[in-house]
Every structure is written in C-alpha cells, then in structure tokens.
Chains A and B, each alone.
Chain A
Amino acid sequence: MVDLDLIQRAKRGDRAAFEQLVFRYDKQVLTIAARYVQSAEDAKDIYQEVFMRVFRALPRFQLRSQFSTWLFRITTNVCLSHRSRRKRHLHTSLEHESDDEHGRQVEGALRDSAATDHHAEKTDLAVHVAKALESLSPKQRMVFTMKYYDDYKIREISEMTGLAEGTVKRYLFSATRKIRRSLKDLIEEQPS
C-alpha cells in the first residue's frame, strides 16, 4: 500500500494505518535522533515527540509535499527544540559520568582488570568528542551529525531541514572549525 492510501486512512482515525505509516520511517527517525543526542533515552523521547506531533497534525496535512519530507522536517525541528532537556541531562551525566553511556564505558574500563590503556584512551577520546559536539549550536550539530555520522548528502540534508544547500555547507564548515578548535590537542597527538 502506498503512503497516500495509508495517510488517507490514518486521517480518518485508522490506528492500524497510522502505525503502518510510522513503521515505514521510524527507524530512520530514531537513527537521526540517536546521532544527534548522547543517550538512548533522549533518542526515544525525540522519537515519541516526532510521532505525537505527526499524529496531532496529520488531519491537517495537505499532501502538498511528500510525507517523508514533512516527517523529517518535524524530526529535525524536534531535535533542535530538544536541546534544553538534553543539555540538562548531558550536564548531569558529564558531571557524574557513571550516569551515561560514556560513563559506563569509563567505569567498565576501570572495572575490567584486563582493560588495556588503549581502551581507556579510546573511551577518553569519545568523551572529548561528545563534549566538542556539545559545544556546537543546535543547527550546526544537527547538520554535522546528519552529514558526518548519518552520511546524508548535502542535498538531502537541505531537503530534510528546510535549509538552503549553501546554508547547510556554511553550518558544516563552521561546525568543523569549532570542533577542530575544541579537539586541537587530541588531533595533534594523532599519528600522521
């Protein structure tokens, strides 16, 4: 069944059709969210907020654009507005590292007597990269994670976020400059 049929049925209140529609795209939505945030809980929060907004707005969806375009626009908007809660969580988790995934990795590395220095270094790097990404503005971070970790084309990011391609590039380049500054010492330590 094509999206259009499912949308029409979902608009009439058919829950099964709505779920079918959701399940076509939800892994992609969860992946975008998971790349943007630092924890599975935050990613699930974003996922839920996206589809609740879709659920509420679907009766007014005019079919002027593709459903997927509309959905990913909502996804990026929810990611961007999720910032304050995420920042609060991250602040707490970086202060008390055992609360988040990086913290668990650090803890694991310390607990495991067989853990090598290399593992500990790698975990430390991961924490620094997370902090560097955290220093970006929400839009820079959104565009950067979609490009670098999700591997979307610049044209696709432009479509999904509603930003012009030139703006996407500008965010990418400024994000890279900022990250380079944040990770300067670590980059210099890397072998050539």
Chain B
Amino acid sequence: MKHEYYQELLHLSLYGDLEEDEERCLDEHVQTCSDCSTELAELKKLNAVLRQRSQVEVTDQLLDEARRELRVALRIAESKRFSLAEWIERFTFFPMPSVRLAAVSGATLVIGLSLGYLAFHPGEDSQLSGVMPAVGSSMVERTEPRVSGFRFLQQPQENGDVEIAFDLVTPVRLKGNVADNAVQRVLAQALMNEQNPGARIRTVSALAAQVDASLRPDEEVKAALIQALKSDGNVGVRREALKALRKLPIDKVIKDALLYLLTHDRNPGIRVEAINYLDQSVLTDEVRDPDILKVLQERMQKDENNYVRIRAKNVYEEAQQ
C-alpha cells in the first residue's frame, strides 16, 4: 500500500480513530518502515504535549450558572418577543394579499370579541388573572386592558381559518395588607417573573415581613422564595429570600434548598449564611441528618473559600459532639 495511506493511519491513531484491522495493519508496517516509526514516536511526543492543555472543566456549578443566566436571557427575550415590529413583519410575510387580509380580519375579530367580553364582565376577578382568586380585604383598581404577545399558533389557511394567541394585559392597582392571601400571591408571582432585580428584592422583603408575622406562609409563597433562593441571578434577591426562609423551621424542602445552595451557589457569603441557617438547628436532630453532614464534610474539605470551610467544620464538629 502507498506510504501516504500509512501516514494517514498514523494521524488517525493519534486521535484514537482506528479500526482494529487498521491498527494491526499499521503496527505491522511500522515494524518495517523507519520513517513511519520515527513519525509515530514524534506523534506520541506531540500527544504528551497536547495533554498538558489546561481545559475549562464543565462542573455542575458551571452548568448551573449557565442555566441561570440563560433563564434570565429567556425571560428578557420573551418580553420583547412580540414587539410591534415583529407583529408587522409577520403580516408582511404572508405572500398573498387575500391571506393577509384573512389573517388581519381573524385577528381583529378575536381581539374584538375578547375585549368586548371583558368590557361586559368587568367584575369577575378570577377570569382576569389566576394570581388573584380572592381579594379579601384588598382594594383592586383596574384600567383598560391591552393586547400584547400576539402570536400565530396556526398560520392563516386558504379558507381563512387561523389560530392565534395573545396576552390580554390589564394594569391593576392593588391596595391591601401583606398578610392578605391575594397580595401574597401577587408578590410570589412577581418574585418569579419580574425582570427588575430591585423590584424583586423589594418583593422578597415584603414577603419576608409576612413570614415573620405568621410563621406559616402560603405554600405558593414558600415555593417562590425557594425558587428565588436557588435560581435568581441576583445575589441580593437570594440573600433576602434566605433571610425570609431563616424565620422558618427546617423541613425537607428547605433542607434540600440549603444543601443545593451550599453545593452550587457561587457566592461564598450565601454559602456561609446557609451554614448559619443549619447552625440554628444544631441542637435538633436535623443537623445530624446524614445528608447535611455529608455536604458539610464535603464543604469543609473542598470549598474554595477559607471562611466557608471553617464555618462548615465548626458546625460539623458541633453536630458530631
């Protein structure tokens, strides 16, 4: 066989991409060809050098950070997705004027019907928004609804059939007490969906005040606090959520969230606060939970931050006594 063929096999051997018979064939050739034997030795040296490349390690923490940042970007993109320009672009995309006309007529009809329906049923809270099933003593004031997030689920057909979706946004002014169930649920929704981190911090602080008052927050509120704790990109929001949850006794959900923080949160201050939270329960059986001990032990050995390691060690040793 041609020498070039073996040269190609030599390179493929560097990448570990040889079939068994090719490898055998190459081995036999190298025994008898000094050029290829020298080339193989050179490639092995090259291999040794290339293995010294320091690579970015794809850890769970890095993946978690990437996912968190993606969520934020998606949230922003979703809010911008159906801007007026895109809405117009969608219409100009239809090639035939008759189809375009059908689409506009269909959309206008649906929007008109929806607005009309709302206009004649202004008093039914539950039909406007799932976040306020009951308003209790709160005072609700609405202004005119507007359409946003318009999109086609099914493009207009030849016969004019079309399926569209859109958000009917009704600006609402809600006045009430943080202890009110309706207010709490709105705050919980805002905590999960609001784009402005400052607003999220104020929201979580308001929720924290309620947690303090009753020690028994609504499950939806608790879930929102835990989600913010685990995935909010803003450290201030995570810290406030942790402060709010610290007022509660540890249960399984909170424990899991704390262990997640200890392992994944990139902010050492948050990790220390998570340990402090566990420290609160040092006299209970909770901290002797093997899951908690395992994570504390891991942190006291591996955490990149010295203070986190010391705190983890203190709490671990205290729990062992």
Which residue numbers of A lie inside 8 Å of B, CB to CB?
12-13, 15, 18-19, 22-23, 26-27, 30-31, 34-35, 37-40, 43-44, 47-48, 51-52, 55-56, 101-102, 105, 122-123, 125-126, 128-130, 133, 147-149, 151, 153-154, 169, 172-173, 176, 179-180, 183, 186-188, 190, 192
Q: B62 contacts A133, CB within 8 Å? A: no
A179 to B48, CA, bound (A): 13
CB-CB contacts below 8 Å: B39-84 with A: 41-42, 45-46, 48-50, 52-58, 62-63, 65-67, 69-71, 73-74, 77-78
Q: Which of B10-18, B24-32, B249-257 contacts A (4 or more CB under 8 A)?
A: B10-18
Q: How far is the CA of A10 from the CA of B217 in the complex (A)?
A: 33
Q: How far is the CB of B143 from chain A (nearest CB, A)?
A: 26
How far, in whole Å, are A134 and B50 apart by their CA atoms in the complex? 13
In contact, B11 and A176 (Cβ under 8 angstroms): yes
7 residue pairs from A and B, CB less than 8 Å apart: A27-B63, A39-B56, A44-B66, A47-B70, A122-B52, A130-B53, A180-B42
Which of A23, A40, A148 lies in contact with B50, CB distance below 8 A? A148
B104 at the interface (CB under 8 A from A): no
Q: A47-B66, A52-B73 are in contact. Are A30 and B58 (CB under 8 A)?
A: yes
Report A80 CB to chain B, min CB distance, Å. Answer: 18
Contacts of B50 in A (CB 8 A): 129, 148, 179
Residues of B close to A30: CB separation below 8 A: 58, 62-63, 66
Indicate which residue in A39, A48, A129, A186 contacts B69 across the interface (CB closer than 8 Å): A48
Among B16, B48, B165, point to the contact of A151 (Cβ < 8 A). B16
CA distance A44 to B78 in the complex (A): 20
Q: Which residues of B contact A34 (CB under 8 A)?
A: 55-58, 62
Q: How far is the CA of A187 from the CA of B14 in the complex (A)?
A: 14
A129 touches B62 (CB 8 A): no
Assess whether B1 is interfacial by the CB under 8 Å rule. no
How many residues of chain B are within 8 Å of chain A by beta carbon? 35
Q: Are B49 and A44 in contact (CB under 8 A)?
A: no
Residue B153 at the A interface, CB < 8 A?
Answer: yes
Given the known inter-chain contacts A48-B70, A147-B15, please indicate yes or no for A31 contacting B58, CB distance below 8 A.
yes
A143 to chain B, nearest CB (A): 10
Q: State whether A26 touches B63 (Cβ < 8 A).
A: yes
Chain B proximity of A102: nearest CB distance (Å): 6
Q: Is the CB of A52 within 8 A of B77?
A: yes
Known contacts A38-B56, A147-B15, A176-B14; A187 and B46 CB within 8 A of each other:
yes
Q: Does B247 count as interface, using CB distance less than 8 angstroms? A: no
Q: Label chain A's interface by main secondary structure.
A: helix
Tell me whether B15 and A40 are in contact (CB under 8 A).
no
Query: Residue A172 contacts which of B11, B42, B54 (CB distance < 8 angstroms)?
Result: B11
Could you tell me if B49 and A40 are in contact, using CB atoms closer than 8 angstroms? no
3 tightest Cβ-Cβ pairs between the two chains A and B: A190-B45, A125-B52, A34-B56
Of residues A37, A47, A153, which shows the largest number of chain B Cβ atoms within 10 Å of its Cβ?
A47
**A12 to B152 alpha-carbon distance, docked (Å):** 9
Determine if B151 is an interface residue (Cβ-Cβ < 8 Å). yes
Q: Nearest-CB distance from A48 to chain B (Å)?
A: 5
Bound form: Cα–Cα A154–B15 in Å:
10
Name the contact of A186 in the complex, choosing from B49, B62, B63 (C-beta under 8 A): B49
A112 → chain B closest CB, angstroms: 15
Q: Using a CB-CB cutoff of 8 Å, which residues 209-261 of chain B contact chain A?
A: none
Distance in angstroms from B309 CB to nearest chain A CB is 18
Contact A180 B62 (CB under 8 A): no
Q: Which residues of A contact B78 (CB under 8 A)?
A: 15
Is the CB–CB distance between A172 and B15 below 8 Å? yes
Highest count of chain B CB atoms <10 Å: which of A48, A102, A188 = A48
Knowing A48-B70, A55-B74, A149-B55 touch, does A43 contact B62 (C-beta < 8 A)? yes
Shortest distance from the beta carbon of B313 to any chain A beta carbon, whole Å: 22
Q: Are B46 and A44 in contact (CB under 8 A)?
A: no
Smallest CB–CB gap between B10 and chain A, Å? 10
A148 shortest CB reach to chain B, Å: 6
- Interface mask (B131-147 → A, CB under 8 Å = 1, otherwise 0): 00000000000000000
| A129 near B52: Cβ-Cβ < 8 Å | yes
Write out the residue numbers on chain A whose beta carbons fall within 8 Å of the beta carbon of B8.
Answer: 169, 173
Residues of chain B within 8 A of A105, CB atoms compared: 54
- Within the complex, the shortest CB–CB distance from B99 to chain A, in Å, comes to 18
* Residues in A neighbouring B54, C-beta threshold 8 A: 101-102, 105, 123, 126, 130
